[in-house]
Chains A and B, each alone.
Chain A
């Protein structure tokens, strides 16, 4: 189907863009890569009278790596972030997750920050923002404000952003030294949204597990992160098989999957437990015991 009639505005400065959004009111919507918005418009699930296209705004296409974070501008596509070697070296979890976002042709146009604004708990990157303790920066005619991941997401596809705010960047926090990360998900077909997915950040030092945080895709109401530190802290990596039982139990308590045509809630809960166990096994397999090399 085709979108309902609309006017497409292409501002060339951020000031002009936030002014337009403010003046046009709730009938206007921001469009970045359009990879989530245009399907919605094509199916006429939304019929905004105005689109404010932000792809022509200067200065929003940078990736900056600092000691604490990887900062990603609003116009950085999934694909560019995935292929950025400095970002990968600083926070491997970004690429580990991004290669699971749709197909390359979608990642070539869709922006990572746009997927955060979209706030789909079936999306990979909102969870990664939560897992890394990240934040976003929003601009409006009232100025800029920073919103942490835990404040940003308030419901499935719902954020605290005002309709006249534009996200200008996102900050994915880097993990403490000695943190290993992995991401895994199950899909019916390559590139599909996950039936269930999970990521683990596990801090290890001296042959012992220190901290653990896990995030989930498609099985929680909000993109969030579960702290598993108390289950692992101080335990040698060699006991990970015992720890896995407790982790799977905690994880299946925490998640709240729903049934749909692709899978039942019970099946998703089972899959998530399997994925949690796999992640733990993968990240502890090659940890030398204390005192060894």
Chain B
């Protein structure tokens, strides 16, 4: 879809910035937004959709706090314009687990391992680790350390986060075994019968 080639990005008559229609599929739900072309995916998620689980630290791709999954793969939402990912499947930390009573295996592992302090970096770790474990369900500690090397945490010193990766792998494997007929499939940590959002 091409918007008009009007020279200005401001609508002088309306006295505001021009917007463009953008359709985003987030956590399985399609949203139709009317937003400026410069809207970053991180800001579209937080401001326009109210999904404030995605955190914004550096806005230049270094810290990893804004990591979401794009078609299942971790990406920096601060380095993507919302208008450029229409029709793609976006998963935020809310899509991985949004119920304090029923945390996802990775979230439970963070609780079990004391892998967060202030929690600012945590959503980026959860999304990164979710995708990593789908590719490597039984990582060594060294592989776990490598997997989180693109995410910064100013509080924990990382040791407990590495432990949480291994713990999450354990929980996911256990959940996989418990969910009859579904062992080994990605997302098998979801409790049996629970509906995906």
Contact = CB atoms under 8 A, between A and B. Distances in A.
Contacts of B61: 35, 38-39, 102, 106
B8 to A, nearest CB: 8
B59 A8 contact: no
Interface in A169-218: 189-191
Q: Which of B6, B9, B73, B79 has the most CB of A within 10 A?
A: B79
B83 interface: yes
B59 to A, nearest CB: 5
Interface residues of B, number: 38
Contacts of B189: none
Interface in B33-87: 36-38, 40, 43, 59-61, 64, 67, 70, 73-76, 78-81, 83-84, 86
Given A5-B17, A42-B59, A31 B81 contact: yes
Given A6-B38, A7-B3, A9-B2, A42 B67 contact: no
Contacts, number: 116
Contact of A8 (B37, B67, B149): B37
A34 interface: yes
Given A9-B3, A109-B75, A34 B20 contact: no
Interface in A92-146: 102-106, 108-109
A34 B80 contact: yes
Interface string B1-18: 111011111100000011
A234 interface: no
Contacts of B37: 5-8, 51
B92 interface: no
A67 interface: no
Interface stretch (A16-24, A220-228, A283-291): A16-24
Nearest to A55: B84
A221 B78 CA distance: 30
Contacts of B194: none
Interface residues of A, number: 40
B145 to A, nearest CB: 9
A61 interface: no
Contact of B18 (A7, A79, A190): A7
B146 interface: yes
A4 interface: yes
B70 A5 contact: no
Given A5-B10, A8-B81, A51-B37, A23 B60 contact: no
B2 A5 contact: no
Contact of B149 (A7, A24, A190): A190
A105 B150 contact: yes
Contact of A2 (B43, B75, B76): B43
A53 interface: yes
A16 B78 contact: no
Contacts of A4: 38
Contact of B76 (A3, A106, A191): A106
Given A5-B10, A7-B18, A7-B37, A79 B3 contact: no
Q: Which 8 A-B pairs have the closest CB atoms?
A: A103-B150, A8-B37, A5-B9, A39-B60, A8-B83, A190-B149, A38-B79, A105-B74
Interface of B: 1-3, 5-10, 17-18, 20, 36-38, 40, 43, 59-61, 64, 67, 70, 73-76, 78-81, 83-84, 86, 128, 146, 149-150
Given A8-B38, A102-B150, 19 more contacts: A2-B38, A3-B38, A3-B40, A4-B38, A5-B18, A7-B6, A8-B37, A9-B2, A10-B84, A10-B86, A23-B5, A34-B81, A38-B61, A38-B78, A42-B59, A50-B5, A53-B81, A105-B76, A106-B76
